[in-house]
Amino acid sequence: MENKTSFFEEPEVEKIILPVGSGVPFGLRRVRNAALNIGGVYGTWGDSYDNGSLVDLLAVRLGAPVPENERLNLAELGFVSRHHIPVFDREQNIDIEVQVGARMLREAALVCGWDPGEVDAILIGMSAPITEDYLSRIARAAGIREDALKVAVHKACDGSVSSLHLALNPDLPENAGLEQNIAESLRGRKILVGGIEGLSRFMTTSRDTNALQLFGNAAGIVGIIPDETMKFLAGKSYEAYDDEGVLQVRMSYPHSRQRSDGGLNIDVTQMDANNIRVAGLMHEPTDGTSISMAGPMGMVKLFVRNGVQVVRDAYQAYQEKLEQLGTTGKSLAVAIVHHANFKINKLKEKHLQNAGITLSMPWLVSDFGNVSAASNMIALLRKLPDLKPGDHILIDGFGAGTYYDTLAVELGG
């Protein structure tokens, strides 16, 4: 596990002040693996709070100290800091997140050696978008063409992995009824995939002390060319509605709120030829707040059992793919997992080992907190320099709803 106190103090992080309010610190880091021809950026915005100073911030937000029995052992859960902005009005929040999103897209394209105008599609996971047209706004501000495909994926913490799955796997049911199959339309094209999570803004209406201690702001964007720099091998997408409301999240995006019997609880809407929204049904808090969650053990129960089974199914499909390719001696170089908390990932790792599946599942995102859909892409970028052409990796996402996407991919060059 990492032992960092602030992302802004890391080498190679470029830090600026966004001119909103009295100024909001924003930092990003660029990563590129020339051998793979894959690159991207990750970063965060807002003041950095370590586990001690976070308690003081929450006392101000809640109007009272966090009770001792509600204080989490955050270091034990894998987190040493996270980033929060002050409480701003709606227009200020839009201004911040458009600036952040546009800069992330532009810099990710440039790291890959692309002019932003060359980008053919962006697929971004967001738990709580600040506006319905957020992708159009940030793409325009980044210099990306108006006719580039924009896919917004609202499946909580699973959003970025679901975005990647949609970009690579043509067999996903979300494609039914669309004017084009997303993955088939993106083969050989230059695309940006990631997660942008302004969770500090989203949390301002929450009174849930667990959520307030765990979540923070961050974003991660990766540039790939499907079937060239990254090739789909096998995967599994699964949903199991959270009837008990163990992790309740307000949907700040359009959704029919209609529960499907045995079908997808996902609304897929093609707003126009270049804009698609994939929106997952959530069990929402009844009091109108943004989020309400069980404690860490509740999260373990929610995500581990189904999460282990989804990984097992994806791993089995991967082994079958290796047999088809005649490369049964191949193994997965690493598993890039969502960083909900360290205990969840260690327990998943243990259960998988008991099932005969041994995977390297490094903990790579201690200095942001739980950053929902951004965490997988940040972890991928932090591991990217160690990977080689031909490597197979597993990418495992899961989030409230509950939604799961796990896929094995081959890295090219």
CA distance 271 to 5: 42
Cβ neighbours, 10 Å, residue 396: 25
Of 275, 280, 276, nearest to 264 (Cα)? 280
**290 burial type by CB count under 10 A (0-12 exposed, 13-18 middle, 19+ buried):** buried
pTM of the model as a whole: 0.97
Q: What confidence tier does 5 reach under pLDDT thresholds 50, 70, 90? A: low
Strands (E), 181-290: 191-197, 218-224, 230-239, 247-249, 266-272, 275-280
pLDDT surpasses 80 at 332: yes
CA atoms within 13 A on the CB side of 103: 22
pLDDT surpasses 90 at 328: no
CA distance 290 to 278: 20
Angle between helices 90-111 and 134-142 (to 10 degrees): 50
Residues 352-402 have pLDDT tens digits of 999 999 999 999 999 999 999 999 999 999 999 999 999 999 999 999 999
DSSP 70-115: G---TTTTT-SEEEE-----HHHHHHHHHHHHHHHHHHHHHHTT--
Q: How much is the pLDDT for 2?
A: 45
Q: How much is the pLDDT for 299?
A: 84
Fill in the amino acid letter for 380.
Answer: L
Residues 150-208 have pLDDT tens digits of 999 999 999 999 999 999 999 999 999 898 999 999 999 999 999 999 999 999 999 99
CA distance 106 to 122: 11
Fill in the amino acid letter for 62.
Answer: L
Cβ atoms 76, 366 nearer than 8 A: no
CA distance 276 to 261: 24
| Domains of the chain in sequence order | 7-411 (3.40.47.10)
Q: How much is the pLDDT for 122?
A: 98
Q: How much is the pLDDT for 118?
A: 98
Q: What confidence tier does 413 reach under pLDDT thresholds 50, 70, 90? A: low
| Greatest Cα-to-Cα distance within the chain, rounded to the nearest angstrom | 62
Residue with tokens 């990492």: 2
